[in-house]
Amino acid sequence: MEKLMREVKAQLESWPAWLEAKTVVLAVSGGVDSMVMLRLMNELNQLRQYNHLQLVVAHFNHKLRPESDNEAVAIKEIVAEYGCIYFATEWGEPAATNVEAQARDARYQFFAEVIRTTEADVLMTAHHLNDVAETFLMRMTRGTSIRGLQGIRGCYQRLMSDPSGHTVMPTIIRPFIGVTKAELEAYAEKFNVTYFEDASNYMDHFVRNRFRHTYIPQLMQENPQLLQNLLTIQQQIQDSYTVQYADYLDLEPQLLMYSTNHYWLLYIPAFLALPEAKFNMYLRIFFEERLIEDVPAYNRDLVGQLQQMMRNRRDPNQRLQLGHGWVAVKRYDYVQILPEEAGPKAYFGQRLILSRLNHWYALDGGSEAGIFAAHQVSPEMREAAEGWAGLHLSQAQETAPLNFQLRQRQDGDQVAISDELGQVYHKKVGRILMDLKLPSDERNQIKVLVDEKDEIVWLGPVSNSPLSRGPQTDKITHIFLYRKTRQ
């Protein structure tokens, strides 16, 4: 087996997503890297262990060069010789500004469409070691975050949208992540691989080309191992960010929540309780992993201003422009992040579906509710709640979207109650509330939590009723919490 083939095969087999794949989309531009990838994958497909794979080729014609149409025809002919399924499209209206970013967006929308059509598991691109170094150094030069310094990853899942707005989440795989451009060119020459040169790759008025042709060669004169060293550093940053993000996710239910009315609510005391470094890091993770779709560009000064606003105990009401039509509004212990025209608000509809675990949902009247893994609920959280209920969820329920619903009580609602002998009987909620001598206006505000069978598992908030407190048993796996927030 040829050397490059052995290296690529070993790299691919280190990724479980590759071993489980059935349909792979190859992103083929026509350059030397993607045409070598096309040949290698077809060679690999001939091996008995991989002859079950269905290879799909996707070519996006950017229409930015006169020769691109002829290249598209030639690529189609080459793909036909391999016998692969082939999809191609062209950029209908190429952008005049910010061309590289907009071309990438259009290209990946097309890839998402192909993935959705073919039900593919994997999207494979031909990014190589030189691409890794160029991207890393470019981002370092212009300034970026730790997340940005992760650079080009070898194997990861990515949420993508096609032109119609349908989403897919394939695994992106880059088998050449540790292979240099020179190795790919040597392979192409040895096996007479046809490929097409883009003359713009040699024009130094493009920043990437200056790094490619001038800066990186100069640095490699200082250390020929530069490319491999940068890959190692990038992988260490990826590992570090993965750990930090996982730690953030464990604490996120205590730090913030997303309202069903499309705004974010940050709980200031929880952030202030963090060590300084975690406060800084978790707020940046929030911007980059949660707020990125609404506020796609932010800077260090903006995050610093938000931190300062959250730390300012003297002014309980403040406002900060975030850009892109979004604003942060401080109200005592909370910061709402929402579209500027919406104004501060809360939300509670007739029937709210609690589909996510470990997530606070904002309700009307300054309250919030959520279902959390029992080990994440501290005694202080439960004590501060106006109501809670212990739940027992199966493993299947934990992995699937939940179907608990929080709604206003309705006439005819009944709840199951156990007496001292363990006998279960049903009693109308209305009668229970009358027995508690609640005024009619308060009875009308009572909410119930129902499971997928529409059976009531919590009734509240009723401060002096056992129905607003769940039993504490060793079978409890999750806890429903309901609490008031300060306005």
Q: Residue 415 in 3-state DSSP? A: strand
Beta bridge partners of 456: 450
- The token duo for 257 is 């929540």
Helix (H) or strand (E) holding 24: strand 23-27
Q: From CA 14, how far away is CA 10, in angstroms rounded?
A: 6
Ligand-binding site membership of 468 (annotated): no
Residue type, 131: D
The residue type at 458: W
DSSP symbols for 61-85? E---STTHHHHHHHHHHHHHHHT-E
Does the annotation flag 451 for ligand binding?
Answer: no
In our burial notation (b when 16+ CB lie closer than 10 A, e otherwise), range 291-323 reads beebbeebeeebbebbbebbeeeeeeebebebe
Determine whether the annotation assigns residue 29 to a binding site: yes
Cα angle 262, 448, 253 (rounded to 5 degrees) comes to 45
Strands 256-258, 387-391: pairing kind: unpaired
Amino acid at 446: I
3-state secondary structure of 38: helix
- Whether 259 has a binding-site annotation, put simply, is no
**31 annotated as ligand-binding:** yes
CB-based contact 334:268 (threshold 8 Å) = yes
One-letter identity of residue 99: V
**Dihedral of alpha carbons 297, 302, 304, 309, sign:** negative
Judged on CB neighbours under 10 Å (0-12, 13-18, 19+), 182 is exposed
38 contacts: CB under 8 Å, gap ≥ 6: 26, 28, 57, 78, 79, 82, 84
Helix, strand, or coil (residue 362): strand
User: Tokens 């406002």 identify what position?
Assistant: 319
* Residues contributing to the annotated binding site for ATP: 29-34
Binding residues: 29-34
